[in-house]
Amino acid sequence: KQEVTQIPAALSVPEGENLVLNCSFTDSAIYNLQWFRQDPGKGLTSLLLIQSSQREQTSGRLNASLDKSSGRSTLYIAASQPGDSATYLCAVSSWSGAGSYQLTFGKGTKLSVIP
Amino acid sequence: DAGVTQSPTHLIKTRGQQVTLRCSPKSGHDTVSWYQQALGQGPQFIFQYYEEEERQRGNFPDRFSGHQFPNYSSELNVNALLLGDSALYLCASSSILTRQPPSLYGYTFGSGTRLTVV
- Which tens digits make up the pLDDT trace of B67-96? 999 999 999 999 999 999 999 999 998 876
3-state secondary structure of B83: helix
According to DSSP, residue B18 is labeled: -
Position A76, amino acid: Y
**3-state DSSP percent of chain B in helix, strand and coil, to 5:** 5, 50, 50
Q: B48, B103, B105: which to substitute to probe chain A, counting the most A Cβ within 10 Å?
A: B103
Question: A104 at the B interface (CB within 8 A)?
Answer: yes
Put simply, the answer to whether A44 touches B90 (Cβ < 8 Å) is yes
> Using omega within 30 degrees of 0 as the cis cutoff, is the peptide bond preceding A14 cis?
no
Cα angle B67-B72-B78, degrees, rounded to a multiple of 5: 25
Put simply, the answer to whether B110 touches A36 (Cβ < 8 Å) is no
Put simply, the answer to whether B96 touches A41 (Cβ < 8 Å) is no
Q: Which residues contact A30 (CB under 8 A, 6 or more apart)?
A: A2, A52, A68, A92, A93, A94
Put simply, the answer to whether B42 touches A102 (Cβ < 8 Å) is no
Report how far residue A93's alpha carbon sits from residue A99's, in angstroms, rounded to the nearest whole number: 13
Q: A89, A94, A103: which to substitute to probe chain B, counting the most B Cβ within 10 Å?
A: A103
Give the nearest partner residue to B107 out of A34, A42, A53, using CB atoms. Answer: A34
Report how far residue B103's alpha carbon sits from residue A94's, in angstroms, rounded to the nearest whole number: 10
Put simply, the answer to whether A102 touches B108 (Cβ < 8 Å) is no
pLDDT in tens, B96-111: 654 445 444 678 899 9
Of the candidates A35, A21, A42, which has an alpha carbon nearest to the alpha carbon of residue B37?
A: A42
Residue A92: per-residue pLDDT: 93
Question: A74 at the B interface (CB within 8 A)?
Answer: no
The rounded mean pLDDT for chain B is 90
Report how far residue A7's alpha carbon sits from residue B53's, in angstroms, rounded to the nearest whole number: 36
Of the candidates A73, A80, A19, which has an alpha carbon nearest to the alpha carbon of residue A48?
A: A73
Residue A95: per-residue pLDDT: 77
Give the nearest partner residue to B98 out of A41, A99, A104, using CB atoms. Answer: A99
Per-residue pLDDT in tens (0 to 9) along chain A, 115 residues: 899 999 999 999 999 999 999 999 999 988 889 999 999 888 899 899 998 889 999 999 999 999 999 999 999 999 999 999 999 999 998 877 666 678 899 999 999 999 9
Nearest CA in chain B to A95: B101
Report how far residue B22's alpha carbon sits from residue B46's, in angstroms, rounded to the nearest whole number: 14
Report how far residue A35's alpha carbon sits from residue A54's, in angstroms, rounded to the nearest whole number: 14
Asked if B108 and B6 count as a contact pair (C-beta separation under 8 A), the reply is no
3-state secondary structure of A83: helix
Question: B60 at the A interface (CB within 8 A)?
Answer: no
Residue B63: per-residue pLDDT: 98
Question: A99 at the B interface (CB within 8 A)?
Answer: yes
Q: Which residues contact B66 (CB under 8 A, 6 or more apart)?
A: B34, B46, B47, B49, B54, B74, B75, B76, B77
> What is the side-by-side strand order in the sheet with A62-67?
A4-7, A19-25, A72-77, A62-67, A56-59
Question: B3 at the A interface (CB within 8 A)?
Answer: no
Of the candidates A39, A18, A14, which has an alpha carbon nearest to the alpha carbon of residue A110?
A: A39
Put simply, the answer to whether A32 touches B103 (Cβ < 8 Å) is yes
